[in-house]
Amino acid sequence: MKQLLPALTGVRYLLAIHVVLFHFSPAFAHLPKAVSNFIGSGYVAVPMFFVLSGFVLTYTYGLRDCQLSSQDTQAPSITLDRRKFWVARVARIYPLYLTAFLLTSVYSLLPPPGENGPDIFDPLAGVAQILTVHTWVPAWSLTWNLPSWSIGIEFFFYLAFPVFVLPVVSRLKAGSLTWLILAMWIVGTIAPALYAGLDPDGLGMRGSAGREGAFLEGFWLKLVKFNPLLHLPEFVIGVAVGRIFLHDLRSRRQRNAGAITTAAFLVLFLILTQSASIPYPLLHNTLLAPVFAVLILGLAHGGGWVGRILSTRPLVALGNASYAVYILQFPLAIPIFGAGEDFFTFPVILGYLTLLTLLALLSERFLERPTRKYLKKKLSPATH
């Protein structure tokens, strides 16, 4: 039977809310610098989601292969039916993804925001978004339902996971996984480091750019930020951490989860309060992936006091609705904040977050669960 990891579910809601708050970071600019830096660095939650995705998939599909009573502490290779895996992922992600796209498309019928306003409703980009391949074209990454760029990357991960990521990583011994994480961290930081140093778009991105860098646009910046291949190291790091956790379960290794989680949480918090001093492209991509890996491993082992808070029933319920919080944030924000930053006030933002959370809970209960069950039944191969 699969063991539940409630702390990792609970943390997903906080990550989703951090992303949402980041989009309203101008409203918090007058707060103490450490606070505004923390809120303005909410985009780092997306690479943590990528690491977490690799971990959860490896854990979910690998646990059953570890339920063996053997003295061998080497976790076995994971057996995976590709078709069943892809059906499960499409059934889990795509119905709400398409719903959010359709909700956003309603606003494409309205007058554009201005003569020089962004053309986010490009028809070809819309087709690419329906097919989840829009992030491969830099100009299409932030079109239609803007946060969907990360879901396009996730679909690439889902394609790669059973084909080559899992087969390669699952053959590595426990001692090699740490070296893989280090190698992936180095590979993942090369492109953003080069961008930060060379500034090929001429946007003044050399050195640190703070949260202001998140709102700059340029071909090469979009390529670094949104290309699926450049985020693959984060996912592979998550897969490697998942294998480490399976080795721990296999050997019944007990880690000091409280100390690990607390240390990773404090390091992450301190870095984000100083985010304005760190090159934005590095923060946006793989720089913090090792910290995320340690935090996820600690939470998987229980997480100490942090894990106990994240494992409470309300946070677990909210964590289950976190995908809806993330993907519905833009369709809901357009009618509320469409007139611009003048509406970025605390009462309006708080009301928006409350409405978004309620909508996400309803979506998870009445849209995601039924459609997931229906699609898995219809698309799964018949058994005789």
pLDDT in tens, 294-348: 999 999 999 999 999 999 999 999 999 999 999 999 999 988 887 667 778 889 9
| 106 pLDDT above the threshold of 50 | yes
What is the pLDDT at residue 87?
94
The arithmetic mean of pLDDT across residues 9-29, rounded, is 93
Residue 281 and residue 224 in contact, taking contact as beta carbons nearer than 8 Å: yes
| 365 pLDDT above the threshold of 50 | yes
More confident residue, 276 or 240: 240
Q: What are phi and psi of 305, to 5 degrees?
A: -65, -35
The arithmetic mean of pLDDT across residues 203-218, rounded, is 67
pTM of the model: 0.92
Residue 147 and residue 327 in contact, taking contact as beta carbons nearer than 8 Å: yes
pLDDT digits (tens, 9 = 90+) for 182-206: 999 999 999 999 999 998 988 876 5
What is the pLDDT at residue 154?
97
pLDDT digits (tens, 9 = 90+) for 292-309: 999 999 999 999 999 999
Q: What is the DSSP string of 120-184?
A: ---HHHHHHHHTT-GGGSGGGTTSSSGGGHHHHHHHHHHHHIIIIIHHHHTTS-HHHHHHHHHHH
What is the pLDDT at residue 117?
46
| Proportion of the chain above pLDDT 90, given as a percent | 70
What is the pLDDT at residue 62?
81
What is the pLDDT at residue 1?
37
The arithmetic mean of pLDDT across residues 108-136, rounded, is 80
Nearest Cα residue to 38 out of 52, 51, 19, 11: 19
More confident residue, 219 or 80: 219
The arithmetic mean of pLDDT across residues 206-224, rounded, is 74
Query: Quick one: DSSP state of residue 80?
Result: -
What is the pLDDT at residue 115?
46
> Reduced to 3 states, what is the DSSP secondary structure of residue 79?
coil
pLDDT digits (tens, 9 = 90+) for 245-254: 998 888 788 8
> Reduced to 3 states, what is the DSSP secondary structure of residue 362?
helix
pLDDT digits (tens, 9 = 90+) for 47-98: 999 999 999 999 998 876 555 444 455 656 677 889 999 999 999 999 999 9
What is the pLDDT at residue 382?
59
